[in-house]
Structure 1
Amino acid sequence: MISNVPEDLKQSIGLWLSQDRNEKTYKEIVGLCDAGNWSELHERLNSRLKFGTAGLRARMEAGFNRMNTLVVIQATQGLSQYIKEQFPDRLIAVVGHDHRFNSGDFAKATATVFLKAGFKVHYLNQEDCFVHTPMVPFTVNRVRASVGVMITASHNPKLDNGYKVYYSNGCQIIPPHDSAIAKSIEANLAPRDGVWDWHQAMKQAAIEGRLVYERDQMLEQYMKCVKESLVTDVDSFSRGKPWFVYTPMHGVGYQIFDQIASKILQLRVDRDFLVVPEQLNPDPEFYTVQFPNPEEKGALDLAIELAENHGIKLVIASDPDADRFSVAFKEFHGWRQLTGNDIGFLFAYYELQKYRGFDAEYRNSHPLAMLNSTVSSQMISSMATLEGFYHEDTLTGFKWIGNRALELESRGYYVPFGFEEAIGYMFPATEYDKDGLSAAVVFLQAYHSWMSQGKSPITILDEASAKYGVFREYNGYYVVADPSLTDRVFAYIREDYTPKGESYPRTIGDLQVKTFRDLTTGYQSDTPNNIPNLPVDPSSQMITIVAQPNGGESEEQVRFTLRGSGTEPKLKIYIEARAKDEPRAKELTRHTWEILREEWFSRPGLSTKF
């Protein structure tokens, strides 16, 4: 045992060194001990990385609350035990990974634990070949697996990684499975025999037929599904001159998109479309962008520059694990990157037009339904009211959107699409999760159809505003260095800002509160018995308010949601205003942001903490 270790660290350091067989992370803890960096060791070892509905996600370092091989092994041991109890006669797992640092080792460790637990494993990777995240839920459904795990941190910084879990229905896990899995992990922490020797374990399992390498087969099935379910008219595509630019953002997207483009859409790179060369190949360094997220400012600069140099008006992008999708379009005044809500509406508009072309008998027996998360735009809700189809909000995250789509389909609804504003789009024809590549396939068809009619995406959005109302957003976040600060902010709103004897604040600055929903405490002001119309989670902070400005027009309305992020140290704010015109809607969103900052986020003792 290392000398001079404080008494309150001896047990946790000893436990780590006894369980970890990864040479790098083992030496990392030893090095911190040698340096006497006890505060850092407390930070890394005093608590465990929390398993939630998003699985695991954190910085890759040694420690029980970081992402590393030991934590992955422990998580999989608990997960496999829980799944065995739920599906004792269907021990089938799917494992895939992206190109991030350590993703391959984490996936192999995951597969090995499943194999040792008696599962058959469908492994979706081969040497130097990766899969995009949606391939895991797609495969779960195709092979009737009881569980799937994707190793990815999506669009997080390069030193992060994650462990995303899918249940037997191909959707991300929802309560109570998350808490039950977390308990199972705590009960199965000691690494079992052989779990560190994944090379030998996987080699032997492949010989026995218990480990199946299925990337190529599943990719072929995925492409077949895309072609049959999402492609309606590509024969009229422009050919011979590049008309869009694609960037995979240093991620895994191009390996698959190129096959989809050439084999299904009959589009050839350098002939019909261009790819940003610096961002084409998977690169875990993400060296051309500060943050590998297409939403971030500057992330599409190289793609737009390439498009500008070749007279191209359309840029599309996927994030590193290719489950998110973004668009930029050149209009008269210059380039405009569409928001997640803009793209979501465009998809909904396109799917509505397609649906109306279906046979009347099918439409009568399969009413149309669309979904979006509650922090996304209400424009589709307005369209649904006017156009006569069913629309529903869900909680944030595709675990909720996907599961709700399955429920609606079981009741006979046709659910072609669901989305959330963080550039995530689900097309259930392929899988019940967001998919940046299927989104690209649908968008390219929609775009070409509109352009052939003399309309651009901007034209469609302007027409929609005239018909369904002008909706504009102003979203942002505060970085929260201390997680307890988020709880203190929400406690201030509920306990100090709310007048004594009231259930919620009736005014916020010059905003008059019309409805108030608190999904943490389980209160909603405008429902029978004040029971919320969405699931309540006491462990997650989330409040949604609808308000009107004093002296505003009758149709003016502001809807905003505050929530603590489940995967990042952020307190997120989503604001959307509806008004008679765009300038007024934008003014209301900015005004609301300033009111919230002044009333709630600049209180004494809080403003310096963000």
Structure 2
Amino acid sequence: MDATQSSLSNCPENLREPINLWLRLDQNEETRKEVLQLCENKNWPELHQRFDTRIVFGTAGLRSRMEAGFSRMNSLIILQSTQGLANYIKEQFPNNLTAVVGHDHRFHSKEFAIVTASIFLRAGFKVFYLTPDDQFVHTPLVPFSVLNLKASVGVMITASHNPKMDNGYKVYYDNACQIIPPHDKNIAEMIQKNLEPWSTSWDWDATFKKGLETNKLVFIKDLMTEKYLMQMKRVLIHSSHLSLKDVKTPFFVYTPMHGVGAEIFAKVSSELLNLHENVDYLVVSEQRLPDPSFPTVSFPNPEEKGALSLAIKLAQENGLSLVIANDPDADRFSAAVLNKKTGKWRQLTGNEIGFLLGYYEFQLYEQQDVAFRKTHPLAMINSTVSSQMIKRMADMNGFHYEDTLTGFKWIGNKAIDLRQEGYYVPFGFEEAIGYMFPDMECDKDGISAATVFLQAYCHWMNQYQMSPFDIMEEGFGKFGVFKEYNGYYILKDLSITKTVFDFIRHEYPSTNKKYPSEIGNELIVTVFRDLTVGYQSNTKDNIPNLPVDPTSQMITVEAKPSEFSNLEGTVRLTMRGSGTEPKLKVYIEACSKSEESATNLARSTWDILKREWFRPEVTGLTTSF
């Protein structure tokens, strides 16, 4: 009996077949040994987790922990997925077999990108490869390259701001947007038809060598970075807004959060903004270099509490008032500002940054001549779980606004649709610190966001001596005070999500309507939209204004305080089941006449929902909010 058979000799019957299949297909010695060691240790629960189900390809591509097994991220899964993706793209674009591939700095990202590019090469594609040798790129360079090279598909290996042992496989379609239905389902089906490796050879070096010799493999990082900078200079840079007058330099701190952002940020800063490190800004030295272990943060997400602590500390030590940050793959952006009126630092929320960037873009649009505005009607976009302050600004200033489902796959595709209809779309955003400037690419871009934010900051300080907090106050005065209270509940069992939503639909008290007319004694429902069952109370024939998905749970409610409450204003809330985590997410935004009353309404709505709809004592939901 050989070593493999010995390791499998005590394996449970229901594990033996998938593990044998894995060992037959996988030629990566590291992951083969991992599986055999788990068998040797008789760790059957862990093996069941890895082999009972297969990782599902969706609109976000693939994302999971890097381990051996069919439900994890590893070279075999990357190989199988790329075989399916390549065949699907060949069917859709038989005359344009071109792919863009890039990767970040995470563990195994280079390995996964090499496998991806190699499979495309073996499928007859020309591959534009962004990351030769030991180089990295920020995620936005992949959709930017797909667009500029007119490629039919792009793949970025990244897990964005996930924990350090995760990785992902993000797919862009020929329009340089993340894929939307039905492509996700069709690609998943094609992957299932291509699970058997096309070749027994895993000699990726030989495949790359042949690709270079035949000009089927082209290294393009330098070229596309140059084009990215040229495009940014053309569409995002306003030379009169670039520096702070009468303010000592440096004036801000930047952190790439142990990610890939430092290199491209330095290029943009020095070549386009005329801002130089240690002269105009400081970089958090402990977080400057790409480091996949993310040693100084518990979770590599700028939104997480404490993630900006080192950056704020550096700013305080040097008497600075602004901190900006990218997430590890530099497609998201965050900022913290010293409020000089209170003397306290505060990290801006994703919605606040979204308003500030949208307000700045509106100011720029207003400066355009009448002829431009007449032929370029303005439109802006955000996701339905994000702030409605941009909508209020659009309503009051007469420009077009639309919301979308959650995710930049929807925001980006909507931007393309609106531009085809003749609209000028300078900006779109989502509250999870994602900001899109479609003249660059129709996906979130943390470097573009940093570039625009710095110009806005300097412009407001120079022109009006106003900080971001002052600009928000100005916005509140014009459009109403908007305050959010977002949070989530943890589920012990994913099935609880449907139970909670069905209770709201079918069991919660109602006055003979298809939806609850009140929430407790405090809130009167004015609009009810259910994107799971396909109902909206205020549209023609009650058909929702956003796509319906019966496989996911999502309800949006607009409400006003009842005469029995001491609350003021209006409130909009969305609750949805997370597609990737055991969470039920809740987004609440209140609008009122004052910050105090808006904050009180948002927080009170959370408490009312907890008591009336989520009922932790009944459902077992838990929350720290």
TM-score, normalised with respect to structure 2 = 0.95
Cα distance in 1 between the residues matched to 2:200 and 2:173: 26
Counterpart for residue 178 of structure 1? 184
Letter in 1 for 2:292: P
Q: Residues 331 and 445 of structure 2 are in contact (CA less than 8 Å); yes or no, is this contact kept in structure 1?
A: yes
In structure 2, do the counterparts of structure 1 residues 233 and 572 end up closer, same or farther at CA, with 3 Å as the change threshold? same
Q: Which amino acid counterpart does residue 401 of structure 2 have in structure 1?
A: H
Measured in 2, the distance between the counterparts of 1:585 and 1:67 equals 44
How many Å separate the matches in 2 of 1:178 and 1:420? 22
Q: In structure 2, what is the Cα distance between the partners aligned to 1:501 and 1:127?
A: 66
Is 1:110 the equivalent of 2:121?
Answer: no
Which of 291, 296, 303 matches 2:304?
Answer: 296
Question: In the alignment, which residue of structure 2 is the partner of 1:81?
Answer: 87
Any residues of structure 2 matched to 1:211-222 within 5 Å, and which? 211-222=217-228
Q: By how many angstroms is 1:495 displaced?
A: 3.1
Change in 2 beyond 3 A, CA 1:555/1:352 = farther
Q: Secondary structure at the match of 1:335?
A: strand
1:500 CA drift (Å): 9.3
| CA–CA distance in structure 1, aligned partners of residues 497 and 17 of structure 2 | 31
Give 1:499 deviation, angstroms: 4.6
Which digits, 9 at most, give the CA deviation of each residue in 1:186-213, with x for residues without a partner?
Answer: 1111111056221211121111100111
- In 1, the alpha carbon distance for the partners of 2:182 and 2:219 equals 32
User: Match for 2:465: what amino acid?
Assistant: G
Alpha-carbon displacement from aligned partner over 1:231-286 (angstroms, at most 9, x marks no partner): 01257514872011100000000011001111111111011110000000000111
Residues 13 and 521 (structure 1), Cα distance of their counterparts in 2 relative to 1, 3 Å cut: same
The DSSP-based 3-state class of the residue aligned with 2:614 is coil
For 2:509 and 2:46, the matched residues in 1 are separated by 39
Residues 1:337 and 2:347 aligned together: yes
Q: Does 1:92 align with 2:98?
A: yes
Secondary structure of the structure 1 residue equivalent to 2:452: helix
CA contact (8 A) 1:601 1:607 kept: no
Closer, same or farther in 2 for the Cα pair 1:194/1:169, shift >3 Å?
A: farther
Q: Work out the CA distance in 1 between the residues paired with 2:606 and 2:201.
A: 51
Give the match for residue 594 of structure 2: 581
**Residue 599 of structure 1, CA deviation:** 2.3
- Give the alignment partner of residue 548 of structure 1, picking from 560, 563, 573: 560
Task: Check conservation: 2:241, 2:459, Cα contact below 8 A.
Answer: no
Q: Does 1:137 align with 2:143?
A: yes
Residue of structure 2 in register with 1:267 after alignment: 275
Q: 2:203 aligns with which of 197, 207, 224?
A: 197
Q: Distance in 2 between matches of 1:188 and 1:31?
A: 28
Could you tell me which amino acid in structure 2 is paired with residue 411 of structure 1? Answer: E
Q: What is the CA–CA distance in structure 1 between the aligned matches of 2:300 and 2:620, rounded to whole Å? A: 28
Match of 2:498 in 1: 487
Query: Once the 2 structures are TM-superposed, how far is the Cα of residue 547 of structure 1 from its aligned partner?
Result: 1.3
Q: 1:501 to 1:51 in 2, by over 3 A?
A: farther
2:335 counterpart SS class: strand
User: Per-residue deviation at 1:19?
Assistant: 1.1
Corresponding residue for 1:443?
Answer: 453
> Deviation digits for residues 73-116 of structure 1, max 9, x if unmatched?
11111111111100000000000000011111111111111111
Q: State the partner residue of 2:292.
A: 284
Which shows bigger deviation, 450-459 or 510-519?
510-519
1:603, distance to aligned residue in structure 2 (A):
4.5
In structure 2, give the amino acid aligned to 1:254.
A
Once the two structures are TM-superposed, the CA of residue 529 in structure 1 deviates from its matched residue by 1.0
Q: How far 1:501 moved relative to its partner?
A: 5.8
Write the distance in 2 (CA, Å) between the matches of 1:45 and 1:609. 30
Q: Residues 236, 23 of structure 1: CA spacing in aligned structure 2 closer, same or farther, 3 A cutoff?
A: closer
Contact 2:130 2:137 in 1 (8 A): yes
| Alpha carbons of structure 1 residues 243 and 487: separation in structure 2 relative to 1, 3 Å | same
Cα offsets for 1:540-596 (capped at 9, x unmatched): 221111112222589711111111223333221100011121111111111111122
Report the count of equivalent residues: 610
Contact 2:567 2:597 in 1 (8 A): no
Residue correspondence of structure 1 range 453-602 to structure 2 within 5 A: 453-497=464-508, 499=510, 502-509=513-520, 510-551=522-563, 556-602=569-615
- Verify the 8 A CA contact 1:116 1:195 in the aligned structure 2: no
Q: Decide whether the 8 Å contact of 1:247 with 1:279 is kept in 2.
A: yes
Cα drift, residue 161 of structure 1? 0.7
Paired letter, 1:116: R
Distance in 2 between residues matched to 1:162 and 1:309, nearest whole Å: 37
SS at match of 2:410: helix
Q: Aligned residue for 1:384? A: 394
Query: Which letter maps to 1:470?
Result: V
**Distance in 1 (alpha carbons) for counterparts of 2:360 and 2:449:** 12
| Distance in structure 1 (CA, Å) of the matches to 2:180 and 2:171 | 10
CA–CA distance in 2 between the matches of 1:550 and 1:411? 41
Q: CA deviation at 1:483?
A: 2.6
3-state DSSP of counterpart to 1:600: helix
Residue-by-residue CA offset, 1:128-147 (whole Å, 9 max, x unaligned): 32100000000001111000
Task: Provide structure 1 residue ranges, at least 5 long, that are not aligned to the other structure.
Answer: none
Native 8 Å contact 2:511 2:517 kept in 1? no
| CA distance in 2 between partners of 1:565 and 1:155 (Å) | 16
Contact 2:79/2:197 (8 A) holds in 1:
yes
**Closer, same or farther: CA 481–214 of 1 in aligned 2, 3 Å:** farther
- Give the alignment of 1:389-404 within 5 angstroms: 389-404=399-414
2:499 maps to a residue whose letter is R
Distance 1:20 1:487, change over 3 A: farther
Q: Aligned AA for 2:283?
A: V
Could you tell me which residue of structure 2 aligns to residue 430 of structure 1? Answer: 440
Please tell me whether the aligned partners of residues 109 and 195 of structure 1 are also in contact (alpha carbons under 8 angstroms): no
Q: 3-state DSSP class of the match of 1:30?
A: helix
Query: Are the structure 2 counterparts of residues 343 and 494 from structure 1 closer, same or farther at C-alpha, using a change threshold of 3 Å?
Result: same
Paired position in structure 2 for 1:314: 322
Shift, 1:598, TM fit? 2.1
Q: Matches of 1:562 and 1:236 in 2, distance apart?
A: 41
Find out whether 1:70 has 2:80 as its counterpart: no
* Letter paired with 2:236: L
**Contact 1:246 / 1:276 at 8 angstroms: preserved in 2?**
yes
Tell me the distance in 2 between the aligned counterparts of 1:236 and 1:317.
19
Matched to 1:76, the amino acid is T
The answer for the alignment partner of 1:32 in structure 2 is 38
AA matched with 1:129 = Q
Q: What is the Cα-based RMSD across aligned positions, in Å?
A: 1.6
Shift of 1:117: 0.8
* CA deviation after TM superposition for structure 1 residue 69, in Å: 1.1
Alignment of 1:347-386 (within 5 A): 347-386=357-396
**Which consecutive residues of structure 2, in runs of 5 or more, have no partner in the other structure?**
none
1:470-503 CA distance string (max 9 Å, x none) = 1100111123353333233223322333659642
1:225 Cα deviation from its structure 2 partner: 0.6
Moved more, 27-36 or 314-323: 27-36
Amino acid at match of 1:448: C
Q: Helix, strand or coil: the match of 2:239?
A: coil
Query: Equivalent pairs: percent with the same residue?
Result: 59
| Residue in structure 1 matching 2:164, options 147, 158, 163 | 158
**Matches of 1:47 and 1:287 in 2, distance apart?**
32
Measured after TM superposition, the shift of residue 433 of structure 1 is 0.3
Q: Is the 8 A contact 1:470 1:582 kept in 2?
A: yes
Q: CA deviation at 1:609?
A: 6.7
